[in-house]
Amino acid sequence: MSEPRRSRLINSSRIIHRLWIEDQLSRADLAIRLGLTKSSISNIVNDLISLGIVIENEVLEASPKGGRRAIGLTLNKAYFHVIGIEIRSDSYTALSIDLEGKVLFSQTKPKGFTAKTFRLEVCDLIESLCKSLEGMQRHLLGIGIGFSGVIDAENQIIYRSVSLDFQQPFDFQKEIASHFPFPVILENDANCGAWGEVVFQRKQKLKNFLFVLIEFWKRYEVQTASPQPTIGLGFGFDGKIYRGSSSQAGEFKSVCNREATSLQQVQIPDGVSVSEDGEALHNYIQEICQNLAFLINTLDIGHVFIGGTIEPFASFMPDMLRKELKANSLIQSDGNCQIQFSSLGYDAVSFGAAALVLDKVLMNLEPLNENSAKQAVPLFHLLS
């Protein structure tokens, strides 16, 4: 690709990203924001208008200093869409959203996923979703997938997953993503929930927060068993997701569970079903809150979002967490921590997986190295 062509495509991507962040800007505003000449902006914007990506809106008010009134530019929300998928051991949730986070399609179905069938099942699911959404006549930016396990997001490798029985490293990029012409990006499910809060609350400039994902799953091949609870944590610091030095940040095991070989995150007595026993559920959530209180107070986290299967504990968990925050504090204070349930609800992971794609595609302005195994495809490749 010639350097002028490459520069033009990169600047096209920068314009789209800036309009996505700020909703509506004039050509002059874009030139100032991006440090480009007005003529360069006008030429690129005209191309984007002809493609249908950008549309002209009402005339904006003139500045206090006077001068000509400018025409506002916004993204055509009907041009792109993104697919987000949450994969569980017993089911999946898939949705399609536009650039503003409006849900265009949503589907939850029972389906078994295990390490043995993962490649085939996921590829079939992606192909099926793409085919069923062809009628939308929108350009697909990519697909994000949220998954419970230890994941090297940079290299797209699954190292371990208890719920789906991954015991050996699985190269997601090689085995799945490389088979598709658009980005397919994998991330830990709790981190996906955190991504959703970061990206779709971008105008509020969310900084330091904790995303708590609590869900109840059961192995697909054992339908008579009671659903088992799972907990994942996603940390956001300075507006970015923190993954840790070995991609294991957010992997949760209660400090009260002292059995070294136990695979339970919170120990549950034999024969007790947390999903069916009210007292057991209360004790389970309380132990989680005790662990969370230590983290929140120690790290001075200002926002906590709770997502997943929240209905069983929605009535009491926020107050319980505030109580534990005070008990864990030397000054008997909850630190004015804002605790709220994710507005994305049960779709928090699939919604956040789609948000991850937007972050990777809209914000990455460097060309993809053809020899690289990473799938951080920049938006301007779609424009070429």
- What are the residues whose beta carbons fall under 8 Å from the beta carbon of 103, sequence distance 6 or more? 95, 96, 97, 347, 351
- The reported pTM is 0.80
Asked if 62 and 72 touch (Cβ cutoff 8 Å), the reply is: no
- What are the residues whose beta carbons fall under 8 Å from the beta carbon of 284, sequence distance 6 or more? 229, 266, 268, 274
Asked if 270 and 262 touch (Cβ cutoff 8 Å), the reply is: no
Task: Give the pLDDT confidence score for residue 369 in this predicted structure.
Answer: 38
Task: Give the pLDDT confidence score for residue 379 in this predicted structure.
Answer: 63
Q: What is the DSSP letter of 153?
A: T
Q: Are strands 338-341 and 303-308 parallel, antiparallel or unpaired?
A: parallel
Task: Identify the residue with better confidence: 119 or 382.
Answer: 119
Structural domain spans, the chain: 3-75, 80-187+348-383, 193-347
Beta-strand ranges (E) seen in the chain are 54-59, 71-75, 80-87, 91-97, 103-110, 139-147, 150-152, 157-160, 170-171, 184-188, 209-217, 228-237, 240-242, 303-308, 338-341
Task: Give the pLDDT confidence score for residue 247 in this predicted structure.
Answer: 77
Asked if 306 and 320 touch (Cβ cutoff 8 Å), the reply is: no
Using alpha carbons, select from 236, 185, 235 the residue that is nearest to residue 361: 185
Quote the mean pLDDT of the chain.
Answer: 84
Say which CATH topology domain 3-75 has: Arc Repressor Mutant, subunit A (1.10.10)
Task: Give the pLDDT confidence score for residue 61 in this predicted structure.
Answer: 60
Residues 186, 365: Cα–Cα separation, whole Å: 20
- Each residue's pLDDT tens digit, 162-209: 888 899 999 999 999 999 988 899 999 988 888 787 776 665 667 788
Looking at the chain, the whole-number percentage of residues with pLDDT higher than 70 is 86
Out of 3.30.420.40, 3.90.1010.10, 3.40.50.2300, 3.40.50.9100, the CATH code matching 80-187+348-383 is: 3.30.420.40
Residues 203, 198: Cα–Cα separation, whole Å: 9
**Is residue 26 predicted with pLDDT exceeding 70?**
yes
**Fold match between 3-75 and 193-347?**
no
Say which CATH topology domain 193-347 has: Nucleotidyltransferase; domain 5 (3.30.420)
Which of 4-8, 110-114, 232-236 shows the lowest mean pLDDT across its residues? 4-8
pLDDT category at 85 given cuts 50, 70, 90 is very high
Which of 52-56, 61-65, 221-225, 377-381 shows the lowest mean pLDDT across its residues? 221-225
